[in-house]
């Protein structure tokens, strides 16, 4: 609950539309382990020298089918 509030504030500050924020939060509630796995893989790519945006895009593409199922 508290994490969701912080995440929502952070996403709003980055200019993410309210509808998208709600969708992401619902998806995270359905499968938190998937999002944990995605975050860990993104961090590993960043540590290996890749920039955050590229790392995020690559990992999100890898899990694209899983994310579609949650949406």
In the chain (71 residues long), the average pLDDT of successive 10-residue segments reads 81 89 90 94 96 94 94 85
Q: Does 35 lie in the same domain as 14? A: no
Phi-psi sector, 19: left (phi>0), alpha (psi -120 to 50), beta: alpha
Verify that 58 and 70 share a domain, yes or no.
Answer: yes
Please give the sequence-ordered ranges of beta strands (E in DSSP) within 1-71, or none if there are none: none
Name the pTM for this structure.
0.78
Residues 41, 21 within the same domain:
no
Check residue 1 and give its pLDDT: 63
Are residues 21 and 45 located together in one domain of the fold? no
User: What pLDDT shows up at residue 38?
Assistant: 95
Domain containing residue 20: 1-29
Please indicate, yes or no, whether residues 35 and 67 belong to a single structural domain of this protein. yes
22 and 47 housed in the same domain: no
Are 41 and 51 in a shared domain?
yes
- CA distances to 2, 11, 27, 37, 61 from 19, rounded to whole Å, are 19, 11, 12, 24, 22
Cα separation values, 55 from 8, 41, 51, Å: 22, 8, 6
């Amino acid at each position: 609950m508290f994490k969701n509030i912080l995440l929502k504030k952070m996403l709003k500050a980055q200019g993410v539309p309210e509808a998208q924020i709600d969708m992401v939060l619902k998806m995270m509630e359905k499968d938190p382990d998937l999002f944990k796995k995605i975050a860990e893989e993104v961090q590993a790519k960043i540590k290996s020298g890749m920039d955050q945006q590229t790392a995020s895009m690559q990992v999100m593409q890898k899990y694209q089918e899983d994310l579609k199922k949650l949406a």
